[in-house]
Structure 1
Amino acid sequence: MYCSMPCAGQLEFINGGWCMNDEATPTYIDIIDQMTLGLRFLNDTFGIGARPLVAWHIDPFGHSREQASLFAQMGFDGFFFGRLDYQDKEKRQKEKNMEGVWRGSANLNPPSADLFTGVLPNGYNPPDGFCWDQLCADEPIVDDKNSREYNKEKFVSLFLETAKKQSKYYKTNHIIMTMGSDFQYENANVWFKNMDKLIKHVNEKQKDGSKVNVFYSTPSCYLQDLNKAKLTWSVKYDDFFPYADSAHSFWTGYFTSRPALKRYVRRSSALLQVCNQLEVLAGTQANKGPYGRAESTVLRQAMAVAQHHDAVTGTEKQHVANDYAWQLSRGWLACETVIKNALYNLSGNTDKLSICPLLNISLCSVTESEKQFRVMLYNPLGREIAWNVRVPVQGRAYTVANHAGKPLDSQVMPQFFLGLYHHGKSHKPSVNELVFQASAPPLGFSTYTVTSQKGNVARPSPPQRVQHQEVIVIQNEHLQLTFNGTTGLLSSMKNLDSGLFLPVVQNFYWYQGSKGNAENIQTSGAYIFRPNVSTPLPISPKAQLDVVKGRLVEEVRQTFSPWCQQVVRLYQGSRHAEFEWHVGSIPIVDHLGREIITRFDTPLRTKGLFLTDANGREMLTRRRNFRPTWKLNNSEPVAGNYYPITSTLAMKDEKAQVTLVTDRSQGGSSMKDGSLELMIHRRLLFDDFRGVGEALNETGANGQGLTIRGRHLLFLAPPDSSARLSRLAGELQLSEPQLVFGTLHKKSRHPYKDGEFSGLRVALPASVHVLSLSRWDAHTLLLRLELQFEKHDDRNLSRTVTINIARMFSTLDVESFKEMTLGANLRLKDLHRLSWDTVERENEHRSKAMQEPTDPSDMMVTLQPMQIRTFLVRTKAL
């Protein structure tokens, strides 16, 4: 419902909207995929006239700037949400700044990423006293004067008073009122019966001089009236993180909650991109073949459901989390069939293909049992990649050859995490791992043959136990890492290319989750992060060290406790250090909840500043204990400084930048200058009173606390070259290549007929990301291209790029294309968004290259920094 004053305005009941998750945890790839699926459903079901123009997020717990950018590019005119920090809301109400223009990008020229944004007055609830449903306690409106329960005048007076109070917070004579909430409209008849009475009797008061008019409407109509007001609106440049609803209740725990599910969603996203691409490149042969019938839709729908604001966030009940995982597993099975059918047809392969979904716990029946097997590496990126393959093996010596039969270097290493996982009684875990560096062409695959040897070839590199040496050094061509032999901790890092040297100490710590205290009963839980004290405790001040060195990789293996281990690696040719950590089962015998962090401490003079990504795209600068648009009174010094890290966390000074790239969404911060920390696991013993009704105490198949294995990439480089390294590595983390294994038949013990394949005629520039490539219909594919660097990231990679779509693909004949909005539900040339006057309008300008659609007769597409362009490309039958 929405209200306006005077009578020329309206009061409008709003009972519906377009809702999705805009929190920190989804990547921009998943947000775009989910929205495309939903918007296409609306077009197909109701027609283009049902295209939503306004979005709202009633329950998500914090709002990303990137979401505003994406929604603007999808063609939305406005966006309303319910939750924002209580201190922010108080200031906005005082200043009548509850609505304005949100500038979603620092790179795209206004207004292409501008989105009108409003804060709903009551969250997503009705005003006090006006809730009518099964779960509401408010009395119904009784307008029969002969009834002893007659209360019409009381309700009318209360409503007019509520409308007057609310109008003080908004700039126009139109105000919006949400009518409904969680689990409501179970009895819609009760709601509408009472709202009908309310509208009737409030409007009758106009005869007595009331200037309030009430009627049912929609968010779009409300937005139209705001636009007609022709006011000048403020501009917001930052985001709405972190979110707190009271002094000790920061909703920053969910950035890390359920880290296993977060990783599963991330891997499922990468698998879906591979599945989509192969459905295009292999055509209908991907959906039916020797491995059966299947399509990518199953995983696409499961991934869309997993973006719910109580799904990938980790704020659902355990049995619901199990159901999300089950739905994803069904999608995996379908996409595995698609991938195997496609590779069978593209490669001419006669092997029995399989995918090993349990490589994260070093399980793969093909590599562990076969004397000879093949490895196919599919690369979903538009550039050639190198990827370090690690697979469990039982043997001690192997040879590896590429698709042309050329032998490659390989290394056999004893497994470090052996025995730390519950494999079941029937499986004997492999004692070794085979490592080799594979490469794959853009949008394509390469094939490798692995053969077990009895001779003295590639014997396992034995670990060497370190006994209180002064220093331990591992290095490759680009980096050198030094460890303290007494403490076992990383002590320094050197970039050998630039000569940059930096002391770096890394260790694991834990915050004790609050049980509530005398000051406030708030606990730490699935939503809320509230540590007992601000200084975390080390899991151990020292680590036991083992060192393994070989031709391809050098690594230090650290044991901090029986439940916390880590391997720090330098692969040949790598420009980053890899930190693979293993945490769990977190002990709770002392009845304490623990929230585990990894922390990197350096002497960098960062002046309270650090950087975080927004949903895997643009970087935002954060300042400790500071908010850009309001004065923070921070009563939780740790939780109030935690931010979502979907992909990247960084800090820098004039000479050096330290960057961490994650393999899943996590919470992170810089709690002191020169320090970065990421929360990697949580095990808590109390509910936090936000709706889950359970403690965040996940257990595994063995009944013990859940064990998590993850990976961080650490970069040290001069600030002007850091983005080149971390963005390309981050792209590879978001869109991981897919390994497929082949069990050789007796007749196929030779390289495949087509052991290497690329779906592109030539590789794309490194700055260009093939964000989407999927089948739209029998003759059309959906293509999105992205220039993934910001304006000032890199001297070369931030430059404008032009791509010829007609000559892009090796297996497809492009006939024509049309440019669409980001959601692919409207021709870009048909997009007409509302225009808003802002306080900075005189400084804004439109960029024709950013705004105008490409001429379909011209197959050349130009990309600007951070720009995504979306096309429906018509080809001969897919």
Structure 2
Amino acid sequence: MIGKIHKQMSHDSWLFSKMATPEYTPFVFLLLLFQSSVWGFPVCQTPQESPTCGYKPGMLNVHLVPHTHDDVGWLKTVDQYFYGDRNDIQHAGVQYILDSVVDQLLKNPDRRFIYVETAFFYRWWKQQTDDMQNTVKQLVNEGRLEFVNGGWCMSDEATTHYSAVIDQMTMGLRFLNDTFGHCGRPRVAWHIDPFGHAREHASMFAQMGYDGFFFGRLDYQDRNRRMVAREQEMLWRASESLTPPMADLFTGILPNGYNPPEGFCWDQSCDDPPIRDDPDLEDYNVDDVVTRFLHIAHGQALVYKTNHIIMTMGSDFQYENANLWYKNLDKLIRYVNQMQSNGSEVNVLYSTPSCYLQELHRANLTWPLKGDDFFPYADSAHDFWTGYFTSRPALKRYERISNSYLQTCKQLEVLGGPISRKGPFGAGDSETLKKAMAVAQHHDAVSGTEKQHVANDYARKLANGWAHCQVLVSNTLSSLSGSSAPRVYCEHLNISVCPLTETSKKFSVNVYNPLARPVSWPVRLPVNGTNFYWSVLLTLSLPFSLSLSISLYPSLSLSISLYPSLSLSISLYPSLSLSITPSYSLYPSIIISPSQSFSPQPSSLLSLCASIVTLRDFLSSLFCVCLSRYNASDGNNSESIQMSGAYIFRPNTSTPFIISKTAKIETLQEVRQWFSPWVSQVVRLYTDSRALELEWTVGPVPIGDDLGKEVISRLDSSINSSGVFYTDSNGREVLQRRKDYRPTWNLRQSEPIAGNYYPINSRAYIKDDKDQLTVVTDRSQGGGSIQDGSLEIMLHRRLLYDDVRGVGEPLNETSDIYPEGLVVRGRHLLSLSPPATAADTHRPLAQEVVLQPLITFTDGELHPSTRLEFSGLQAVLPPAVHLLTVSQWDQDTVLLRLEHQYQASESKEHSQPVTVNLQKLFSTLDVLGVSEMNLSANQWKDEMTRLDWKAESGTHHTGVTNQLSAYSAL
């Protein structure tokens, strides 16, 4: 079975039936089990297959879409929102919304409703009786209850990584497929609340089979231009590496965000008057309601292109008492349509996004073409929503490493077989972490825009998922290595804490590499020390041996580089014997002023080695690595009262404050910089490394001066970037950014810093004809290129005011450990290469940071019969191919996603089609059958059909692009 990945930046995924070799636990196969269980449902008629959704030709058709927007955590936790708990914070109870909506749909066959967040629906569904479940299935089959979007949550688009987005979409869509079959499959993506929109999301939605995409938020200047030009609906060309229309997605901007028109909200949370239609009563208002509605409808029609317009009738957590909404909507439809007998050409109907999209398609028009994205988002001149790109940096990091751990957990679940889930260390599972990670993708979760107690709950759920996966991982490692020694997980290595390595005289390091290629990964292990410098002799007993002597800074950490020689592999480094002797050699402290003049020599980076002198000179001669800060606006400003907050970034000046004019620098095997007592940085260059490591530590951010602060790392170089820099899109595509510029409209810049910040998920770079400086981040952060030759990335934010966007509290994080303010530590990796070959370095480097090796430990001696190496693959995959997903689907099938990770023309060597032999891919699994699926694994690829759209010529705006796609095999 040969799978050819034809397109650059494509994803190929398969579901395959597997069989273990005799050396491992065998499996039993039922090849048709998956297909019959998922698609064995009654056939329903989708809007695309039906002749009409109730519109009238020749009239202005107003599609009323009853909906609720249910945040999967924001002001309350997920659990509190579902049950309706803590209504003192916000009155909201999702279980009552679904109860009430189903009841009201049954009372009138014309009524419709859409639902989005599968995480909530899944909970509600499990609590229903068989009779109620059958009733709901009938509503779904009739198209009266329609699922849109269908992911576990409505994900954020700025701070999420594409692999985690695909996972959470797959989880939600699989539940809908398993429960409702074809009738429950969403045809429309629906991101009405995220704060800006990423092109990679559009590409993924297209490859998941969606016909269209609707959202509510875009920059106020962009919206104004589009309203005048009647370009609020367009064709988004989300990849230049894929042949159109593979990544083309029809995209519509909703007229009122996602709220109803002003004066037409009939929820218990609304203040608008009901329709009073008894003519004998003094307050009869039907005529006024009809007149106002017709005026709004005609006004909306002027800024859209067809005789069909859409109105979202609902908002946050509405329809808890659905009778209020439906009783008034019934009347509105009846009384407005009665005016047709008097010559009115307005027809109002209950509708859904799919019905509306069908009529736009039937209009057979051409649509403007868009190729860039919708960042940054501003809702007013001084209100740029670019702060949340960095808000809650500790949570952002925890989400990112949890994604890495989840991928490892899923792989080991497949490689270990049933014993992974129930083995010597108890019952383990990956589902708990899958659900926690899916919830964490929500646009008020990893974004950092939730209340503090909700952020704590997201972290708690992730920690619980880790605990379940740790049991699974221990079971698999025990089975594959033949050693039942307990595995120790040191989860605080980033702060040099690991009780085992600090106390044990002999221990083993277990390394699992989740990538499909070998990696070199530095690991810093804390060891016991005193106030002396220590010399540590490390001996590794392997099929190959590695011996090195390292001088240690007192009581901190031992740095070793591990070289897993295999891919998708486990390597055990047994019997680490630490021979510790004191050494009294001292190193001088060096003071370097950031204000001194530099003569950068970019080409010297490639010749750097672990030389102390060269490393020190790198800092002082290549470019300036400055940690600075902005003081946050407190709203006391003549231009605007807007404050910096969880969402919005608004510094009170356009020039950052240097934290210290001098930085104390100590040089060991690394360079340590102290800019102030609360800001420091360690600079390292490991032997044979492709990148320089900057490990920054920020906090507690002082607020004694009553000013919030936003700390940045700024890299100044001699590169002639000409106002242009590049960022990734959700960790995958790369887009060009230009200072004070938007590709689709003439920008009036009012915030020179915040208005030039963009999301950075994994990497950003600047370049000229000779050099490219790339920064790889370990979490999503915000950044920009404010000056030519410079990159700045925001590291940490501590703010004293709420930005009046709903969260209702300042972003002022503390904890029991850090009551004076949160301390955050992270890493940036810097590489310098010629632009023609830079992608061959920064793309795999970013991948290694996202999917880093799992390090575990065992205490004492290992048994002599312990298996020291294992690889789940027969051979390393080609450099262009990334193994994105290996996950157990059901008892007999595995979901496999392979990704061509290079854009067209990005790499002379790697931007070519690649052939992969699936039968010879795994070392312990025999592939018995393969079926290709779409990216979200909820359709067979050969059965996936999408609406075709015609684009206007001359409207394509773009930067640099790429694509995704996916398949599956049975």
Matches within 5 A, 1:390-789: 390-394=524-528, 396=534, 397-404=536-543, 406-414=545-553, 430-454=555-579, 463-466=587-590, 478-479=607-608, 490-493=619-622, 504-516=623-635, 517-549=637-669, 555-700=670-815, 701-744=817-860, 748=862, 750=864, 753-789=866-902
In structure 2, which of residues 50, 59, 64 is the aligned counterpart of residue 7 of structure 1? 59
Measure how far apart 1:464 and its partner are. Answer: 4.1
Are the equivalent residues in 1 in contact too, given 2:61–2:349 (CA < 8 A)? no
Whole-angstrom CA distance in 1 between matches of 2:613 and 2:217: 47
Whole-angstrom CA distance in 2 between matches of 1:180 and 1:461: 70
Call closer, same or farther: CA 1:344–1:89 in 2, change over 3 Å.
Answer: same
Whole-angstrom CA distance in 1 between matches of 2:673 and 2:955: 58
State the one-letter code of the partner of 2:775: L
State the one-letter code of the partner of 1:284: P
Call closer, same or farther: CA 1:473–1:625 in 2, change over 3 Å.
Answer: closer
Q: Tell me if 1:795 matches 2:891.
A: no
Are the equivalent residues in 2 in contact too, given 1:3–1:212 (CA < 8 A)? no
Structure with bigger strand share is: 1
| 1:249-268 deviation digits (Å, cap 9, x = unpaired) | 00000000000000000000
| 1:470-524 deviation digits (Å, cap 9, x = unpaired) | 9999999743699999x9992333xxxxxxxxxx111011111001123211100
Structure 1: stretches of 5+ with no match in the other structure: 416-429, 494-503, 550-554, 844-864
State the one-letter code of the partner of 2:318: Q
Measure how far apart 1:7 and its partner are. Answer: 2.6
Whole-angstrom CA distance in 2 between matches of 1:570 and 1:443: 26
SS of the aligned residue for 2:552 comes to strand
Measure how far apart 1:833 and its partner are. Answer: 0.3
SS of the aligned residue for 2:298 comes to helix
Whole-angstrom CA distance in 1 between matches of 2:584 and 2:180: 62
Are the equivalent residues in 1 in contact too, given 2:62–2:297 (CA < 8 A)? no
Whole-angstrom CA distance in 1 between matches of 2:968 and 2:55: 42
Identity %: 52
SS of the aligned residue for 1:520 comes to coil
| 1:87-137 deviation digits (Å, cap 9, x = unpaired) | 100000000000010011121111000000000000010000001112211
State the one-letter code of the partner of 1:443: L
Whole-angstrom CA distance in 1 between matches of 2:613 and 2:860: 47
Are the equivalent residues in 2 in contact too, given 1:268–1:303 (CA < 8 A)? yes
Whole-angstrom CA distance in 1 between matches of 2:937 and 2:456: 32
Are the equivalent residues in 1 in contact too, given 2:200–2:963 (CA < 8 A)? no
With 331-340 and 3-12 compared, the bigger mean Cα shift is at 3-12
Call closer, same or farther: CA 1:738–1:595 in 2, change over 3 Å.
Answer: same
Whole-angstrom CA distance in 1 between matches of 2:709 and 2:262: 38
Measure how far apart 1:460 and its partner are. Answer: 9.6
Whole-angstrom CA distance in 2 between matches of 1:238 and 1:473: 34
In structure 2, which of residues 452, 458, 478 is the aligned counterpart of residue 324 of structure 1? 458
Whole-angstrom CA distance in 2 between matches of 1:360 and 1:337: 22
In structure 1, which of residues 264, 267, 281 is the aligned counterpart of residue 415 of structure 2? 281
Whole-angstrom CA distance in 2 between matches of 1:375 and 1:643: 39
In structure 2, which of residues 444, 468, 490 is the aligned counterpart of residue 334 of structure 1? 468
With 534-543 and 822-831 compared, the bigger mean Cα shift is at 534-543
Are the equivalent residues in 2 in contact too, given 1:558–1:566 (CA < 8 A)? yes
Whole-angstrom CA distance in 1 between matches of 2:359 and 2:823: 53
SS of the aligned residue for 2:838 comes to helix
SS of the aligned residue for 2:831 comes to strand
Measure how far apart 1:235 and its partner are. Answer: 0.5
Are the equivalent residues in 1 in contact too, given 2:522–2:559 (CA < 8 A)? no
State the one-letter code of the partner of 1:230: N
Whole-angstrom CA distance in 1 between matches of 2:489 and 2:332: 60
Are the equivalent residues in 2 in contact too, given 1:412–1:434 (CA < 8 A)? no
State the one-letter code of the partner of 1:41: F
Whole-angstrom CA distance in 2 between matches of 1:232 and 1:473: 51
SS of the aligned residue for 1:69 comes to helix
State the TM-score, normalizing by the size of structure 1.
0.90
Measure how far apart 1:362 and its partner are. Answer: 1.4
State the one-letter code of the partner of 1:778: Q
Measure how far apart 1:4 and its partner are. Answer: 7.9
Are the equivalent residues in 2 in contact too, given 1:488–1:544 (CA < 8 A)? no
State the one-letter code of the partner of 1:349: S
Are the equivalent residues in 2 in contact too, given 1:408–1:436 (CA < 8 A)? no
| 1:432-476 deviation digits (Å, cap 9, x = unpaired) | 43434332411011111243344659x798654336799999999
Q: Tell me if 1:185 matches 2:301.
A: no
Q: Tell me if 1:158 matches 2:292.
A: yes
State the one-letter code of the partner of 2:764: L
State the one-letter code of the partner of 1:712: H
Measure how far apart 1:405 and its partner are. Answer: 7.1
Whole-angstrom CA distance in 1 between matches of 2:639 and 2:443: 30
Q: Tell me if 1:103 matches 2:242.
A: no
Measure how far apart 1:331 and its partner are. Answer: 0.4
Call closer, same or farther: CA 1:145–1:481 in 2, change over 3 Å.
Answer: farther
Whole-angstrom CA distance in 1 between matches of 2:55 and 2:631: 47
Matches within 5 A, 1:248-259: 248-259=382-393
Whole-angstrom CA distance in 2 between matches of 1:120 and 1:762: 49
Whole-angstrom CA distance in 2 between matches of 1:558 and 1:522: 35
Call closer, same or farther: CA 1:659–1:461 in 2, change over 3 Å.
Answer: farther
Are the equivalent residues in 1 in contact too, given 2:162–2:730 (CA < 8 A)? yes
Call closer, same or farther: CA 1:144–1:468 in 2, change over 3 Å.
Answer: closer
SS of the aligned residue for 2:497 comes to coil
Call closer, same or farther: CA 1:560–1:450 in 2, change over 3 Å.
Answer: farther
How many residues get paired? 820
Are the equivalent residues in 2 in contact too, given 1:107–1:791 (CA < 8 A)? yes
State the TM-score, normalizing by the size of structure 2.
0.81
Whole-angstrom CA distance in 2 between matches of 1:463 and 1:817: 61
Are the equivalent residues in 2 in contact too, given 1:409–1:436 (CA < 8 A)? no
Whole-angstrom CA distance in 2 between matches of 1:521 and 1:754: 65
Are the equivalent residues in 2 in contact too, given 1:483–1:490 (CA < 8 A)? no
State the one-letter code of the partner of 1:773: V
Are the equivalent residues in 2 in contact too, given 1:608–1:673 (CA < 8 A)? yes
Call closer, same or farther: CA 1:166–1:545 in 2, change over 3 Å.
Answer: same
Matches within 5 A, 1:45-64: 45-64=179-198
State the one-letter code of the partner of 1:816: G
Measure how far apart 1:13 and its partner are. Answer: 2.7
Call closer, same or farther: CA 1:43–1:652 in 2, change over 3 Å.
Answer: same
Measure how far apart 1:301 and its partner are. Answer: 0.2
Call closer, same or farther: CA 1:358–1:2 in 2, change over 3 Å.
Answer: farther
Higher relative contact order (CA 8 A, sep 6+): 2
In structure 2, which of residues 909, 925, 930 is the aligned counterpart of residue 812 of structure 1? 925
Q: Tell me if 1:312 matches 2:446.
A: yes
Are the equivalent residues in 2 in contact too, given 1:411–1:461 (CA < 8 A)? no
The match for 1:368 is 502
